[in-house]
Amino acid sequence: MQKNKTDIRSLNLETLQKQFIELGEKSFRAKQVYEWLWKKSCFSFDEMSNLSKELRQKLDELFIINNVKVNTSQYSSDKTIKNSFVLHDGHLIEGVLIPADDRMTACVSSQVGCSLTCKFCATGYMERKRNLNPDEIYDQVVLIDQQARKNYNHNLTNIVYMGMGEPLLNYANVLKSIERITAEDGLNMAAKRITVSTAGIAKMIKKLGDDGVKFNLALSLHAANDEKRNEIMPINEQNTLKALAEALKYYFAKTKNPVTYEYIVFNDFNDELQDAAELAKFCKHVPCKVNIIEYNPISFASYLNADVDKIEAFADYLRKQGITTNVRRSRGKDIDAACGQLAIKDKALEA
């Protein structure tokens, strides 16, 4: 990145209009540029064909577009595609396209690495380098959408913030990225098609309520018992189940949005009916549903997926308690693209 140039996508429309007036340009030109940047996802000033060559040159001298690029793509036998994306400073992140019969989902990252050290997650063994900017999250969606159209002749229908990083530790940038994704002069996607997944940061869940968000919230729970959750998710030591329950009640009171609980069933750890009973009790706090997720083993940890019979018995118990429960089968496991497997194996590139 050239240090004397401003990242043009870090400016909102009003600021950009002011800068254009200072350059002796009409403010409507800023709106044209803004549309090129966001609605048309343009990565080069040269492509902005309704601007004069002189203005395009001027923009190129003053601004830079720090766009994300596809570094490598891996194709799973189940049609999942995992991408390594390179950022303007050489850092690498991963994002996944998950095709299904009824939907086309992009799984995007919110941080380079992660600081939460969840014991079962490959990303948790990486160092957190930095937060992603809103445009870097936005670009992942754009690039994965292009991939969906090219490979499966279908546009994206859903976005999940379930890639690398903890979205609520990059709160402002994540919300800004969603604002751009859902804006009419952005990608114009419905907020209800977007799910943000958190490991559980109580004060930020409350802030989501205060901000009246329209997108879906998922909580990676994995144990409804503080002792067990502390063991696999150190974040629980500062954000106990009691604190999370209070935050979720506050969030629901403000937004009226039900919550999804994600629960990986580990062999001989949290796979007994007693564990299911503890989860059912936690589910009483707010309207919710449960997604039971297969565990995808990683080289860093010794956890194993629970037996199929145990998973089915666990799910059946929850359903008998009146809790909407889905068992999610892993996608992209053969290319390390499944839940909990994202971890950059390549070294960061030179900027």
End-to-end CA distance of the chain: 7
Tell me whether residue 347 is in a domain.
no
Do 138 and 58 lie in one domain? The reply is: no
Give the integer Cα–Cα distance in Å for 34 and 16: 8
Do 96 and 219 lie in one domain? The reply is: yes
Tell me whether residue 351 is in a domain.
no
Please give the positions annotated as active site: 94, 339
Do 196 and 261 lie in one domain? The reply is: yes
277-282 contacts, C-beta under 8 A, 24 or more apart: 277/317, 278/223, 278/224, 278/225, 279/221, 279/224, 279/318, 280/317, 280/318, 280/321, 280/323, 281/224, 282/221, 282/224, 282/241, 282/245
Give the domain CATH number at 97. Answer: 3.20.20.70
pLDDT tens sequence across 92-140: 999 999 999 889 999 999 999 888 878 788 776 787 889 999 999 999 9
Tokens 């950009």 belong to 16
Do 44 and 171 lie in one domain? The reply is: no
pLDDT at site 83: 94
Do 287 and 170 lie in one domain? The reply is: yes
Residue 58 sits in which domain range? 6-64
pLDDT tens sequence across 199-234: 999 999 999 999 999 999 999 999 999 999 999 999
The residue count of the chain comes to: 351
Do 41 and 148 lie in one domain? The reply is: no
Do 40 and 157 lie in one domain? The reply is: no
Average confidence (pLDDT) over 174-198: 97
Confidence of residue 1 (pLDDT cuts 50, 70, 90): very low
| pTM for the predicted model, two decimal places | 0.91
Confidence of residue 348 (pLDDT cuts 50, 70, 90): very low
Do 47 and 74 lie in one domain? The reply is: no
Residue 2 has pLDDT above 70, yes or no: no
pLDDT tens sequence across 273-317: 999 999 999 999 999 999 999 887 776 777 888 889 999 999 999
pLDDT at site 115: 82
Do 17 and 158 lie in one domain? The reply is: no
How many other C-beta atoms can be found within 10 angstroms of the C-beta atom of residue 267?
Answer: 14
Tell me whether residue 348 is in a domain.
no
Tell me whether residue 345 is in a domain.
no
Tell me whether residue 343 is in a domain.
no
Give the domain CATH number at 47. Answer: 1.10.150.530
Indicate the helix (H) or strand (E) that contains 38: helix 27-38
Q: Which of 17-26, 74-83, 118-127 has the lowest mean pLDDT?
A: 118-127
Do 39 and 145 lie in one domain? The reply is: no
Q: Average pLDDT over the chain, rounded to whole?
A: 91
More confident residue, 117 or 11: 11
pLDDT at site 302: 77
More confident residue, 342 or 183: 183
Tell me whether residue 344 is in a domain.
no
